[in-house]
Structure 1
Amino acid sequence: MITLSADQLASLSITRFIFHVVHHGEDEPTFFDELEIGDFEDFFLDRARCILKGSSYEFNPQSQVREHLEAIGNESYLFVDRSRQLAVNFHSHGIDDKRIKKGVMILMELKALGKEFFAIIKYEHEQVLRYRNDGKKVMLENVMDTFTKSPDAMQKAALIDMSEETPVVMVLDRNVKDGISGFFQGFLNVRRKKNQKELTESLWNVVKDTSKKHLDELPPEFVGDVQQRTEEFVQSRDNFDDSEFFDEVFAGYANDELRDTYRSCLKNAEIEDEPFYLDKQASNGSKKRKLKTAEGITVYFSEKALSTMQVSYGKNGEKDVLIIESERIREEM
């Protein structure tokens, strides 16, 4: 995923800007020249920053989009020509789909403290009514070719970090929550860096790693409690939201230190601010749970065996007690 520091976000600037009209009912896009963004840079920088909330993908080896962007990076004079080739490709992917509205494909080159990015945005034209008045007489005008701040107007967008050896593609697609439409995926020719199963399994690892760093300061029942809550969350939710997950799974234990560890573990697992569908069949990363005593005894057990165990955590200096009921006990070599 693409993560920018506060300093990088503050320094983010647009160095090249161009757009072409697409999906307007013609066989070819309408091409325009490169333009100086001038006083409108902040408007489009805000649009680019929004893409950071999207999902992480990587290019397939045959991606023409990657080829065009690499060419521009190597030879800056190709910016206009390659932007037009991108527009032709973009236009062709939606030319027969009546659901896709007229709009423009924007190509921006951006920089932030030594890092180089490209943004590709499909901006749909929204109907805007403008009025003019001559005294008390008012006249309405229908304006279609507009850029608005409406989130729905920026239908599809990709922010590409070309400074990495393997370029990272952040995708925001308004038509598919936590994913990408076939049309946009076909144009970009990308694949998800992790599938839904791998992303959900990463979530289990985040819980495990967060718990390990706070075992000494939290009550003994903490680990079993958050594991059960994680399972309940995965089974009862369709989508992962990191803030919602933390509030539900770590409720009652949350503090600033625990939250900081959680967010650090999310970042290490590359799922920080990453929305995705939860795979209810994904493994929790360990088939068995375990209890470990201060005296060095470790007990491994499955969820099915939980009903045969009684754990009492001592308070005010009393010892903890573990009782296991079994049909048979045997010592193994």
Structure 2
Amino acid sequence: MSFLSDQQKEELCIERMIFHVVDPEHAGPQFLAEVSPPQCVEFFAERIRETLKGAAYNFVSGSGLPSLLRRALPTLNTTDEFASVSHDLAERFKDKVKQDRRLAPGVLMFLLLKTTGNEKLCAIIKYEHQQVVSYSYVKNEDGSVIPPKTSGAQK
């Protein structure tokens, strides 16, 4: 069940984006620079909309995560803490990955979102390192693809 209305989900847009690599084999996260302007925004906004259809989870009481995330939201009276909050999140996640080997290494994305009425929200997305598609091919001199050689019975 989503905490956003259908209109809010439809108007969801990504204002800021940063991601960091988290791997238990390394001493700490690999911090990357903010992606400015954000890239592939519709793809990631659609991932967020899909996620909003699933189960909702609450942060563990006493974790400090809700107050940490609020620091990333822009207000008139505060300094910009978006990047530093993303670093804190990556460090925390790195600690969890190190403690629980069931958690796979990957990329932790942190996004600042805007929706109806200029309401600001944060999103955290974790993508695991995995090879999705891999292919190779060879072209002959005229540029056409050479079919791969197969092994086994031939017709």
- Partner of residue 23, structure 1: 23
Contact in 2 for aligned 1:108/1:118 (Cα 8 Å): yes
Contact in 1 for aligned 2:22/2:106 (Cα 8 Å): yes
Contact in 2 for aligned 1:23/1:100 (Cα 8 Å): no
Structural RMSD (CA): 2.3
Please identify runs of 4+ aligned residues in structure 1 that moved more than 6 A.
none
1:91 has 2:94 as partner: yes
- Please show how residues 277-296 of structure 1 align to structure 2 within 5 Å: none
Opposite residue 130 of structure 1, the aligned amino acid is Y
Structure 2 runs not aligned, ≥5 long: 149-155
2:110 counterpart (107, 110, 114)? 107
Percent identity, aligned pairs only, is 34
- Please show how residues 209-288 of structure 1 align to structure 2 within 5 Å: none
- Change in Cα spacing, 1:76 to 1:52, as seen in structure 2 (3 Å) is farther
- Report the 3-state secondary structure (helix = DSSP H, G, I; strand = E; otherwise coil) of the residue aligned with 2:31: coil
- Partner of residue 51, structure 2: 51
1:78 has 2:76 as partner: no
- Partner of residue 139, structure 2: 134
- Select the structure of larger CA radius of gyration: 1
| CA deviation string 1:192-242 (max 9, x = no partner) | xxxxxxxxxxxxxxxxxxxxxxxxxxxxxxxxxxxxxxxxxxxxxxxxxxx
- Change in Cα spacing, 1:133 to 1:37, as seen in structure 2 (3 Å) is farther
Structure 1 runs not aligned, ≥5 long: 140-333
Contact in 2 for aligned 1:131/1:138 (Cα 8 Å): no
Which whole-Å CA distance do the structure 2 matches of 1:102 and 1:61 have between them? 25
TM-score, normalised via structure 2 length: 0.76
- Report the 3-state secondary structure (helix = DSSP H, G, I; strand = E; otherwise coil) of the residue aligned with 1:84: helix
When you count helix as a share of all residues, which structure comes out higher?
1
Which whole-Å CA distance do the structure 1 matches of 2:147 and 2:31 have between them? 35
TM-score, normalised via structure 1 length: 0.38
